[in-house]
Structure 1
Amino acid sequence: MSSQDDDNLVPTQTEGYKVSEKKGIDELNKLDADDPSLIKWKESLGLAHAKERFPDDKRTVVVQALVFQSADRTIRMDVSTPEAVEKLRGAPIVIKEGVDYTFKIEFVVQREVVSGLKFLQSIKRHHITLEKMEEMCGSYGPKYENQEKTFAPAKAPSGMLARGLYNVKSKFVDDDNCAYLEWEWSMEIKKDWA
């Protein structure tokens, strides 16, 4: 992997911003324990009784799927296990040229609050980067259910020269640059969905 490939998925840094010290759930629950409004807010985040959905999985953020959505199609790309990611790498998804679409990421946060989640994506064709995306997802407390973030709408390229195979590299990171998942996949732009 070249250093140019690495640079494509490095989140931007805000000059002077320092990531705050991480605190565990128990420590957060004890802070301001005498303030009823803060207690209520913490309960709304699920800090008091968050169950682990994947107790054997040591990751704090478990990415479940990347979902392509258009008016005509929804394509759910399973990335929940290394086997699913590998299977996705070998099978390009087909996208109709010129279609308006969005991406949505589904994930589970467990054990602690995660701050500053970001989704990074680089799309290349013939080793040339055509598009680079960095979407801020936000901060999340632990929750048993899937959490999700839908990104800004985009339009698939169209025309004879736009048709073909595109290589995509995606990454899900937090403020500490902890990468919860980094994977490669491909999409094929065609005249129609088949």
Structure 2
Amino acid sequence: MVPWFTLKEGSKYTLVFTFRVTNNIVSGLRYSNTVWKTGIKVYSRKQMLGTFSPQAEPYNHVMFEESTPSGMLVRGSYSVKSK
């Protein structure tokens, strides 16, 4: 499997979601993120983003800054499923 992108160990990153709500109110929008290394779940996070009403301008939601694992024992490839 070819990775979409690669992050170096110990890198800091921030996720930014940009989305538009057009017709109905979106109630209780949540973000879920799960990380696996060699088939073992190593990290899981669920966060409530909020409730959003329709508007012409897009919403921007900035997540907290996080960092990638670092050190000899955590090197390798990771699989991530976000929804």
**Following TM superposition, by how much is the alpha carbon of 1:163 offset from its aligned partner in structure 2, in angstroms?**
2.1
Superposition RMSD in Å:
1.7
The counterpart of 2:5, out of the listed 66, 74, 93, is 93
- Segments of structure 1 that go 5 or more residues without pairing to the other structure are 1-88, 172-194
Give 1:169's aligned amino acid: K
Higher CA-based Rg: 1
Give 2:61's aligned amino acid: K
Of Structure 1 and Structure 2, the greater strand share is in 2
Give the structure 2 partner of residue 154 of structure 1.
66
Cα deviation 1:93-130 (Å, max 9, x = unaligned) = 11121122221212111101111100001011111111
The counterpart of 1:144, out of the listed 41, 56, 71, is 56
Q: Deviation above 6 Å: which 4+ runs of structure 1?
A: none
The counterpart of 2:21, out of the listed 83, 95, 109, is 109
Count matched residues: 83
Give 1:142's aligned amino acid: P
Of Structure 1 and Structure 2, the greater helix share is in 1
Q: Could you tell me whether the CA contact under 8 Å between 1:121 and 1:169 is conserved in 2?
A: yes
Alignment of 1:44-83 (within 5 A): none
Give 2:24's aligned amino acid: E
- Segments of structure 2 that go 5 or more residues without pairing to the other structure are none
Higher RCO (C-alpha 8 Å, min separation 6)? 2
TM-score, normalisation: structure 2: 0.86
TM-score, normalisation: structure 1: 0.40
Matched, 1:125 2:37: yes
Give 2:3's aligned amino acid: A
**Following TM superposition, by how much is the alpha carbon of 1:91 offset from its aligned partner in structure 2, in angstroms?**
3.1
